[in-house]
Structure 1
Amino acid sequence: MTATIHPLGDKRPPSLDPIIALTAEDMNAVNAVILDRMQSKVAMIPELAGHLIAGGGKRMRPMLTLASAALLDYPGTRHHKLAAAVEFIHTATLLHDDVVDGSEMRRGKRAANLIWGNPASVLVGDFLFSRSFELMVEDGSLKVLKILSHASAVIAEGEVDQLTAQRRVETTEDHYLKIIDAKTAALFAAACRISPVVAEAGDEAEESLDAYGRNLGIAFQLVDDAIDYASDEATMGKGRGDDFRDGKVTLPVILAHARGSEEDRAFWKAAMQGDRTSDDDLAHATRLIRSTGALADTMERARLYGRRAIDALAAFPASRAKSAMIEAVEFAVARAY
């Protein structure tokens, strides 16, 4: 039976509270590892890293590693260091992304590159990548090392692929889904997959949790794409319309461009090339995305991938962990409402 996502639920909006409560004790251990391993004799490194790591992020990816371990009743502690490695990989990619994008906001605060400069942000990102690999090696599992190192390479490929597609309004939906599968979903999938490895739960559990994380990651990114045109800085933690002004051809743009008139397509081409980036242009873009159904259809695709994520958990028995992981999917989709 296919799962149904009800973004606003029957009694209360879906929340991350259940998965936060489920993983709270383990997350304290993960945070202790993060705090310890971001230290350096070079004062700028913990200062810059701490600006982002302590910046109010949800810790979604390491939380998924911990929740997946809880789903499997894993009794050990290896997942603590590995969840920290996952967070370091994610944080490193954020530091690098903000340099590439010239971002001004991250998690509701000034982007690190605006405070310390681009060179420092890139180099501290490299430091965090290195720390993540130290943690993987300390775990001692070649399989875990393969999963996380492969994910790191795929993320980089996805970012480069996105860079080459930037400002190219003719980018197809299939190509874009390939980009977000790499740049976003790969780490979600890896974060979930490493727990059945350390729990020795078998190939079927690995595949199921990989599918859960991957589909959740795609849904998560599609919602981010939608709310760039339908939310505000307080909700997003970054500037509204950043994707639009950066010429990022996301799914709402792809759909609106394909469905628009000749005049609309001319607007999108000029906007993605950086010639139409005013507040009025953003307002016009938002109207086109809504009037063509591009926003609604982006959210419908997000719900589809969310349902696939929930379906991937079907083989696991009912438990507190399973319920929390299902609600995390519902929350990811409901963020746009």
Structure 2
Amino acid sequence: MIHALTDFFPSKTVSFYMARSFLINTFAFLFGLVLILQTLDLLSESGRILAFPGNGDAQVWTYVSLRAPQIIATFLPFSVLLGTIVTFSTMNQNSEIIALKASGLSAHQVLAPLMIAGLGVAIISFSFNDRVVARASSTLAAWKKVEYGPLPIDRGDRSNVWVRNGSHLIHAQQIKGRGDAAILGGVTVYERDGAVLKSLVRAKAGRREGNGWRVQGAERFDVATGKLTPLGDVIVGQGVRPDQFTLANVDAESMSFGALSEAIDDLKTAGRPTKALEGSLWHKLSGPLSAVLMPLLAAVFGIARSGKLFVRAVMGMGLGFLYFVADNFALAMGNLGAYPPFLAAWAPFLLFAMIGEAVLLKSEE
């Protein structure tokens, strides 16, 4: 069985040559795209970074280190597409595709080394997104909230969370822990009568007790009289659940696959909608796997025997870009609830895989 599998590929030398050319072209395009886009992004953002007193070159480079992973994650699939097109175009110009097919290899056999290399790129992409991009996105989002001031230390806690309790608003500067073990820090309760603010209750800390939250050392400030009254330990936020604090802002882009899956389970337990987040969770898998699909879409026109190489390369590029348009559209529809989560993440991938396979089989006939 192993011998039959190896016979499906071209020779070891040819397979290594094709995979190496594909990877070199892919990462060369990626480097160029990241360099250009990071420069343009920095031109628009550097003014805001340097506007904060005390910021200088170190903060600019910090921004680059946090923004570059996001650009890499976004444009790696584009680079795979361009790398595949250039690889096949070069091999066509050198008559290498003709030589391979004249030796009896099918289009699928010619494509096999690039598909395996694309699978390797997909695995690297998923690991990079999960380990690097998620953390960089979370840190950059927190840094932007403080207008590029002193970079917050990320200890896995949530900060600056607002929760509505009837007509009242509750603000917590920091939340540690989950469930009934959650601890609130820097609690402010805005007590309102309709839309009119009546008083503020401030406390340093609070924890879950019964159906509410016991805050310690609380003080009430009456807006009308300006009087400050010590309250001691009191119960606030009756009926406010812990998940309303800990899961108030779930950003799929800033969370790893495992953390997002765990957050979705917690939201389901709390009876809250999760369709949009489930679509994002599935897309964390289908997105990197587009690196396997790109060689197939480019090969539709790159392995064909007809002439007009430039026209076929443009058509292959157009088909690849059409996939990214469909992918973003399906994901947007999933976020709006128009598509089921699985369909929103996987439908474009499966659709274009079938299109590519059908056209490739047709060209073989």
Instruction: Judge same fold: TM > 0.5, yes or no.
Output: no
* Structure in which a larger fraction of residues adopt strand: 2
**Using CA pairs below 8 Å that are at least 6 residues apart, which structure has the higher relative contact order?**
1
Determine which structure has more spread, i.e. the larger CA radius of gyration. 2
